[in-house]
Amino acid sequence: MVGNDLKTKIKEVAVNHFNRDGYYGATIRNITRDVDCSLPMVYYYYQSKKDLFHEIIKKDYFDLLKRQAELINEKTILDFYIEFVFKINFLSDYEKKVYRLGVKVYLSFDGDEELMEMMDKWEESIIPRHYQIVSPYLKDIQEEGKKMVIVRTLVHLLENLIEQIVVKNRSLSKNEIREELSLIIGNI
């Protein structure tokens, strides 16, 4: 194994270790053993366990979120969100594990302070992003407070559905997703 193949293998094995043992329980030595390479080879690509974990979250996790959002081209707001959640069912095993790590950091269950601060800043942007998406469909609602309640409720529901798929390993059908989301955005 050379070059990008080894780097990819290191990340795949590391994602398994971080999911199983957590950020603090995973060790470079155990990752190295399971990759079947030397410690210096891992340190050639990553200066530390922190660098490895940060690349998985900062690059792989956020790239995954971006790719998922770009795949959606539905016409109605309900169909947009149904497709967004439904497509998560079809992520690769590796992508689901990366997503699971991202959720754990987002919920402050794992990772370090720097990543948690980054996730806090990202979290601050979630409601405004979804508000931009949903707002054009809320023209009949005049009160801003009601619009924000709808968007916050939608975001919490999305988080719950996504956690069912990536954390609980449950597959959700379009109908199940539609039933849930229809409660919030079915009439807009």
Summarize pLDDT for 10-22 with one digit per residue, the tens: 999 999 999 999 9
pTM of the model: 0.84
- On the question of pLDDT at 72 being above 80, the answer is no
- C-alpha distance from residue 121 to each of 31, 52, 118, 127, 147 (Å): 30, 21, 5, 12, 22
Of 48, 22, 177, 184, the closest CA to residue 107 belongs to 22
Confidence of residue 74 (pLDDT cuts 50, 70, 90): low
Mean pLDDT of 26-48: 95
**pLDDT (tens digit, 9 = 90+) per residue, 90-107?**
999 999 999 999 988 888
